[in-house]
């Protein structure tokens, strides 16, 4: 089967294939870019599949744009084709937070916390806030992959974002994660004040619910 790409896109290589999308590295009008192609599902009714691809593509592109307008570093969206499920965005060349988290850099982690609050204060729920989706360029965090994100006002959603990041760091670092996580949380609260404290309080409640659930399963 012939691979289909936007006319101006010159593919270099496939860098990721998941259940929902492929990521292709290439060039667009001499700019280094990533093309995100949503994958069509043969088991879904065609009309439903087309509508889901269209709506999810538009939503992700919109969230990337809104986050950037809010002052958060994200890829630039250069082209969107919701019918095809394509988003062409600038390639963010750096290392993931996963790769650099072992380094001592409180300023970076504080900035991560501040920017996450900035995202939440803009009513953006990321949906997959793992260290792999935070790219570090010159000690600046860039947030990528808003494919599971949505607009939200419920602090439970924002606490869930924090919970995903917390659990990811804990899994990566073990007991050593506490200091680094506290630096992120302090940045979050410094930026957001009382509202941020309420969200962190809800995070603590989520963690308690998780512990109670584990005890009940033992």
Domains of the chain, earliest start first:
9-90 (3.30.200.20), 95-217 (1.10.510.10)
Region of residue 2 (phi > 0: left; psi between -120 and 50: alpha; otherwise: beta) = beta
Residue appearing with tokens 């087309």: 50
Mean pLDDT of 132-147: 97
**What are the start-end ranges of the H helices in 70-176?**
97-100, 106-121, 155-173
**Element holding 95 (H helix, E strand):** strand 95-96
Statement: residue 217 has pLDDT above 80? no
Measured distance CA(133)–CA(64) in Å, rounded: 13
Statement: residue 58 has pLDDT above 90? yes
| Backbone Cα Rg of the chain | 18
pLDDT at position 42, please? 74
Among the listed residues 119, 24, 7, 18, the one whose alpha carbon sits nearest the alpha carbon of residue 65: 119
HEC states along 9-64? EEEEEEEEECCCEEEEEEEECCEEEEEEEECCCCCCCHHHHHHHHHHHHHHHHHHH
The active-site residue out of 110, 115, 128, 161 is 128
Statement: residue 216 has pLDDT above 60? no
Among the listed residues 100, 92, 49, the one whose alpha carbon sits nearest the alpha carbon of residue 67: 92
128 is catalytic: yes
Statement: residue 212 has pLDDT above 80? no
Helices then strands, each counted (H, E), the chain: 5, 10
Measured distance CA(46)–CA(65) in Å, rounded: 29
Mean pLDDT of 12-23: 94
Measured distance CA(129)–CA(165) in Å, rounded: 6
Residue appearing with tokens 């996580």: 181
CB 41 within 8 Å of CB 51 = no
Which pTM was predicted? 0.92
pLDDT tier at 99, thresholds 50, 70, 90: very high
């Amino acid at each position: 089967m012939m691979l289909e790409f936007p006319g101006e896109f010159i593919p270099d290589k496939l860098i990721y294939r998941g259940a929902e999308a492929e990521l292709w590295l290439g060039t667009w009008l001499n700019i280094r870019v990533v093309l995100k192609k949503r994958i069509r599902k043969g088991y879904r009714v065609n009309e439903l599949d087309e509508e889901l691809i269209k709506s999810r593509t538009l939503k992700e592109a919109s969230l990337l744009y809104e986050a950037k307008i809010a002052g958060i570093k994200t890829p630039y969206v250069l082209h969107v084709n919701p019918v095809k499920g394509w988003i062409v965005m600038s390639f963010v060349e750096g290392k993931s937070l996963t790769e650099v988290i072992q380094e001592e850099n409180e300023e970076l982690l504080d900035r991560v916390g501040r920017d996450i609050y900035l995202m939440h204060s803009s009513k953006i729920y990321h949906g997959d806030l793992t260290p792999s989706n935070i790219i570090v360029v010159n000690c600046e965090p860039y947030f990528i992959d808003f494919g599971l994100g949505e607009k939200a006002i419920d602090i439970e959603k924002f606490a869930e974002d924090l919970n995903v990041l917390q659990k990811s760091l804990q899994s990566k670092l073990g007991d050593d994660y506490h200091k680094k996580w506290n630096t992120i949380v302090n940045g979050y609260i410094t930026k957001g004040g009382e509202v941020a404290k309420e969200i962190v309080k809800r995070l603590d409640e989520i963690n308690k619910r998780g512990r109670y659930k584990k005890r009940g399963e033992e």
